[in-house]
Amino acid sequence: MNFVSTRGNVTKIGFIDTVLMGLANDGGLLVPEKIPQISADKLEAMSELTYQELAFEIFSYYVDGEIPDNELKALIEKSYATFRHPEVTPVKKVKDNMFVLELFHGPTFAFKDIALQFLGNLYSYVSKKTGETIHILGATSGDTGASAIEGVRGKEGIRICILHPHGKVSKVQELQMTTVDDKSVLNLAIKGTFDDGQRIIKELFADMNVKNKYHLRAINSINFVRILAQTVYYFYAYFQVKKELELQSVNFSVPTGNFGDIFAGYLAKKMGLPVGNLIVATNENNILEGFIRDGVYEPGEFRSTYSPSMDIQVASNFERYLYYLLGEDSKAVSDLMEKFQSEGKIVVSEEQLRQVKVDFAAHGVEGEECLQTISKYYDETSYLLDPHTACGVAAYERCNDSSEVCVTLATAHPAKFNESVERCNIQQTFPEQISQLFNKPQYLEVVEADKDEVVRHLETLFRFTAN
């Protein structure tokens, strides 16, 4: 299996090199040269597998022997042994034709654990094999940071720096990141938004002098492994629902800000999974809804919302979708991204927009609609949604035909966003792991949203390996 850049200047690199490169050296994103195709007979056989066995089957298409089978299986087993539910991502029926896929049973109670527990162990594996110290740099709108730190903390040969927007994540998200007392972990709270942090990350990875000097590796969903690991639970959810209902395909409603989680579903569909409609659920930061509706991708004014993990204007993984929308034409992608850099927006043709509407539906959920959805489902079904999942459910109600089966991705435990839940006059009991956070000291530094200032802090964290 070879991987290529969406912008065409990185070609035919293997799986491990793809993991280590993260952001392609030409500024694009890495994608498989050819998406594996899974036959109906193979899908039928895969439907009886455990989550871990299924992950091995799907990963194997992309790893393509670069990691011996026994070692890949051991990495997978180790990664999901930390989850509180034996199924890893159980599917719960909430009402007729409506299911939720619970992705919050990992160490930090968020869907990011599913990819980052594996990626953390994979980085540790590579470090031991090569003797190379891994320096991880990432930005977070809340959940990635905690999951990434949990995935790599205490692992020999790995150090990590996470940027988060100061005062723009939930209290639990902040505590999960900043109560980690570890010299190999650096939390920088930037005076800005997630988009500022993401911009700094991309600038640093695009600066080959900085990237090579500090041996930087990516933990954000610009790293293809994040997408690959998330693809597994679409297969798993489909198989579980199909065991209960006779159906040809399943729709998915996906709360998304950076387009990674929904792109994983798109990838699963292109691999052959019988996915029907892919519903993009956003909040008031609804650049993706605007694109799917009108064919115009243009950031608007940033808004803080009840679903802060989706408070993102510029979605990193959108470029991966553009690559396929434009017929895998890397020159066209590169030209369009250059135009976006200079003009601040992307406009696709009418023909391309028709394809977008075949691929996706979308709904941007306003704040009150989000809270009303939490209250409604708690009153009617006793199921408590976190605000991001509530956006997914609200989008399901708006975009899904009542005769079709839909799975909404439940991306976080509601305890992570108690500020929003309390607005619905709902009192919840915190899991013990979250309750304990409030009694711990915090370790973070507040900094300007400036590339050079971030580099100065990296110098402190990584100085002993800089050359």
How many residues are listed for the chain in this entry? 467
CA dist 9 → 27, 220, 222, 467 (Å): 9, 21, 16, 27
451 catalytic residue (yes or no): no
Cα distances (Å, whole numbers) of residue 261 to 57, 111, 354, 373 = 20, 9, 22, 21
Query: CA angle, 151 as apex, 59 and 24 as ends, to 5°?
Result: 60
Is the torsion defined by CA of 70, 71, 75, 76 positive or negative? negative
Stated as kind and residue range, the H or E segment containing 350 is helix 350-359
- Number of Cβ within 10 Å of residue 290's Cβ equals 18
Residues in CB range of 48: below 8 A, 6 or more apart: none
Burial class of 34 by CB neighbour count within 10 A (0 to 12, 13 to 18, 19+): exposed
b/e 139-166 (16+ beta carbons within 10 angstroms → b): bbbbbbbbbbbbbbeebebbbbbbbbbb
Nearest-CA neighbor of 179 among 207, 153, 217, 159? Answer: 153
Which position among 112, 155, 168, 416 bears the catalytic label? 112
42, HSE (Cβ side, Cα atoms, 13 Å): 12
Catalytic residues: 112
